[in-house]
Structure 1
Amino acid sequence: MYGPAAVCDHGRVNEIRRGTLSEETFFEQVGGEPTFRRLVHRFYQGVAEDELLRPMYPEEDLGPAEERFALFLIQYWGGPRTYSEQRGHPRLRMRHVPFKVDRAAHDAWLKHMRVALDELGLPEDAERQLWEYLTYAAASMINTEG
């Protein structure tokens, strides 16, 4: 997938090709914006039907939340910085404080994300790297016992 001398660091993949160092983001490696938009769209299809998670999204339409999450992931993994340009620093924990995020919410969130990620059919290394981040991020959002 990445070649013989790949090193990944915060969404960037450095690979030695024919004696030169080229840099390609994880974002580019996995297919760019369309990949992240598919991931997030499929995730929100699950959220829309989830009795525990759906109430955490006060907007009638999940579209705005879907757009914010897609832009965040796109930026995090090396794509355009549109999220920060529109919303400033991500401050994920602060933005989630108004919501009760307990272990059950964490598990439900990861359940829908797992389905969405599996449907992307990414190469094993990329899938593992993205899943490790998502599980870490989900755990860091827990703000309530229970």
Structure 2
Amino acid sequence: ELVDRFYDLMALEEPFAELRAMHSEDLSSSRDKLKLFLSGWLGGPDVYSPKYGHPMLRARHLPFKIGLKERNQWLACMYRAMEDCGIDGQIGAQLEESFFNTADWMRNQAN
């Protein structure tokens, strides 16, 4: 539900248009990959690696310019998706911190 809401917001909401433009027209592969990745990242079974190999997050995202603006746009979209899905309280706060740390680590631009 979270991943679907995240990509729905990205596709439909103007504040996330630049983020959306970084993706292919068909978001089904991105949805699938994020769902599978989050399963293992959140402590569940590693279903991503058998299908796609090691995540190598930074390497897979190097072709894209990711600075503060892109990081913040991604986080705003994810935080909104979390809110829309009712993910709040201590779990929400922990997820927000983890998402922030990962998104900030993905930056490959100084700004």
Deviation at 1:60, TM superposition (A): 1.9
What residue is the counterpart of 1:48 in the other structure? Answer: 11
Identity of aligned residues (%): 38
* Structure-1 separation of matches of 2:20 and 2:89: 30
* Structure-1 separation of matches of 2:93 and 2:38: 16
Structure index of larger Rg = 1
Deviation at 1:123, TM superposition (A): 5.2
* Structure-2 separation of matches of 1:122 and 1:42: 12
Write out aligned runs for 1:63-102 (5 A). Answer: 63-102=28-67
TM-score norm. by structure 1 comes to: 0.69
Asked whether 1:104 is paired with 2:74, we answer no
Q: Amino acid of the residue matched to residue 85 of structure 1?
A: P
Structure 1 residue runs of 4 or more that deviate by more than 6 Å after TM superposition: none
Write out aligned runs for 1:1-146 (5 A). Answer: 38-49=1-12, 50-57=16-23, 59-122=24-87, 124-146=89-111
* Structure-2 separation of matches of 1:60 and 1:52: 13
* Structure-2 separation of matches of 1:52 and 1:130: 24
1:94-127, CA deviations, whole angstroms, 9 ceiling, x for partnerless residues? Answer: 1100000111111111111111111222351111
1:60-109, CA deviations, whole angstroms, 9 ceiling, x for partnerless residues? Answer: 21111011011101111122221011111111011100000111111111
CA-based RMSD = 1.3
Count of aligned pairs = 108
Tell me, yes or no, if the aligned pair for 2:82 and 2:88 is still in contact at 8 Å: no
Higher RCO (C-alpha 8 Å, min separation 6):
2
* Structure-2 separation of matches of 1:67 and 1:130: 20
Q: Amino acid of the residue matched to residue 54 of structure 1?
A: R
